[in-house]
Amino acid sequence: MPVPAPIAPTHPDRVAGIDLGLTDLATIAYSDGTREKIAAPKHYRAAERKLARAQKKLSRAQRGSKNREKLRVEVARIHARTANLRRDHARQLISRLIRENQTISLETLRVSAMVRGRYGKSITDAGWSQFVTELEAKAATHGRTVVRADRFFPSTRLCAICNTKSGPSSTDVRQWTCTCGIHLDRDYNAATNLLVLALAPGKVERLNACGRDIRLRLAGAVSNEAGTRRNEVTS
Ligand SMILES: [Zn+2]
């Protein structure tokens, strides 16, 4: 069977640092100084809420009852549908990442962290490993590079501006102020750290030479207008 010809990225040499999340599907910092948050589509969030309601009902149903069995089937059905929606959305995002970038950098999840909460939902857990597997397969086909941070790399706790490990360990904190005085957006800061990690040494210098401003903007340290907010992966 003929192998599809690799397609060159629309932004040659561009590196994307991605923080995968729960509220936003992905937060991305690019080496060209742009950034974006990609929200999960509305219909996916609606399905998630429906699933949560059904699970709650099931947990209250009497053990061994006919009603419980009915609810169990219902939960399984909604669970499968929700997982499918998430998978479709993830595939669209993967296609776009491959189409636009040469290098894609992301964290490596620790299971303990997943259990603790941020990735506590089973769909998200399964979605994560599937996302990485599919991204790596597609990257191999098109000659892109996927960089995985070391599993202990503190992408969310490290300040992208001064490199101090001053960030929150709690997952609820969306914004924080580093000891260096810079106020940061949790997800943009994490994405920026992952971006910097994947930059070739010369590129890091170039990013630094362009001034602190780029890093500040990428890490969400300045007002929102400085960043780009696209949401092309909606269906
Ligand atoms: Zn700092």
Q: Catalytic residue, from 36, 48, 185, 187: name it.
A: 187
**185 annotated active-site:** no
Provide the pLDDT confidence category of residue 3 given band limits of 50, 70 and 90. Answer: low
Rounded to the nearest angstrom, the distance between the alpha carbon of 158 and the centre of ligand 1 is: 8
CA distance 108 to 76: 28
3-class secondary-structure state, position 185: strand
What pTM did the predictor assign?
0.79
Rounded to the nearest angstrom, the distance between the alpha carbon of 14 and the centre of ligand 1 is: 25
Nearest to 214 by CA among 147, 161, 167: 161
What does the pLDDT read at residue 100? 97
**19 annotated active-site:** yes
* For residue 214, pLDDT beyond 80: no
Rounded to the nearest angstrom, the distance between the alpha carbon of 189 and the centre of ligand 1 is: 10
Q: Catalytic residue, from 36, 48, 107, 185: name it.
A: 107
User: How do residues 98-149 score in pLDDT, each as one tens digit?
Assistant: 999 999 999 887 554 444 444 445 556 667 778 889 999 999 999 999 999 9
Taking each helix axis as running N to C, give the angle between helix 42-60 and helix 66-100, from 0 to 180 degrees, rounded to the nearest 10: 150
What does the pLDDT read at residue 24? 67
Provide the residue count of the chain. 235
Rounded to the nearest angstrom, the distance between the alpha carbon of 23 and the centre of ligand 1 is: 25
**Most confident among 3-17, 52-66, 120-134, 217-231 (mean pLDDT):** 52-66
Rounded to the nearest angstrom, the distance between the alpha carbon of 161 and the centre of ligand 1 is: 5
User: How do residues 162-195 score in pLDDT, each as one tens digit?
Assistant: 889 988 887 778 898 999 888 999 999 999 999 9
CA distance 152 to 26: 20
**150 annotated active-site:** no
